[in-house]
């Protein structure tokens, strides 16, 4: 069960679907292990809700990378149910906003140019991670991840 903020900023609750709760539990368990994790969910399964619930339970500084403004807005709408607006940032030239907060939604095209701004995030979640060309070390995603790792190693 998740507690949500409604339009009047009153805390209410939401019951995740059983398969969403299973996905959240599996993600949280897998994050305890070293390395990267992937969660696959079908279209319409509520990936935005799963992402929001994972972020809520972790209570950490989280960067959520999205491939388009449409998906950014969809994730923002769901995450806004789980977190007060003042805790959510958007870093996207396409969305005409570049704010960094505890939960930050970003498009890779914007944040890859400024990796130093994202070094202190505890976790990076990538929506639509099948878009990451892992064999191309020059891609925006891989360049961003490598820059973050390089910057962290010099701190």
User: Which residues form the domain of 124?
Assistant: 2-153
**The pTM is what?**
0.86
Residue carrying structure tokens 């996207």: 92
pLDDT for residue 3: 52
Q: Is the pLDDT of residue 130 over 60?
A: yes
Q: Is the pLDDT of residue 122 over 90?
A: yes
pLDDT for residue 88: 96
What's the structural domain count of the chain?
1
- Report the DSSP beta bridge partners of residue 12: 4
Mean pLDDT value of segment 111-119: 94
CB atoms < 10 A from the CB of 10, how many? 8
pLDDT digits (tens, 9 = 90+) for 13-26: 678 899 999 999 99
Contact present, 51 and 2 (Cβ < 8 Å): no
What is the CATH classification number for the domain harbouring 119?
Answer: 3.40.50.300
d(CA 17, CA 22): 9
Share of the chain above pLDDT 90, in %: 54
d(CA 73, CA 76): 5
Higher pLDDT, 134 or 47: 47
Q: Is the pLDDT of residue 67 over 80?
A: yes
pLDDT for residue 4: 52
pLDDT for residue 7: 54
Among 13-22, 33-42, 140-149, top mean pLDDT goes to 140-149
pLDDT for residue 44: 87
CB atoms < 10 A from the CB of 3, how many? 11
């Amino acid at each position: 069960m998740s507690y949500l903020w409604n339009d009047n900023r009153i805390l209410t609750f939401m019951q995740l679907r059983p398969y969403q709760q299973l996905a959240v539990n599996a993600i949280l368990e897998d994050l305890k292990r070293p390395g990267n994790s992937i969660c696959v969910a079908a279209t319409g399964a509520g990936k935005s809700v799963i992402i929001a619930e994972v972020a809520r339970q972790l209570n950490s500084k989280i960067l959520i990378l999205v491939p388009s403004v449409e998906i950014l807005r969809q994730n923002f709408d769901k995450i806004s149910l789980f977190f007060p607006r003042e805790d959510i940032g958007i870093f996207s030239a396409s969305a005409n906003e570049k704010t960094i907060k505890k939960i930050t939604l970003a498009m890779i095209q914007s944040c890859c140019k400024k990796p130093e701004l994202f070094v202190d995030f505890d976790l990076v979640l990538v929506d639509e991670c099948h878009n990451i060309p892992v064999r191309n070390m020059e891609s925006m995603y891989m360049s961003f991840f490598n820059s973050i790792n390089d910057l962290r190693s010099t701190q």
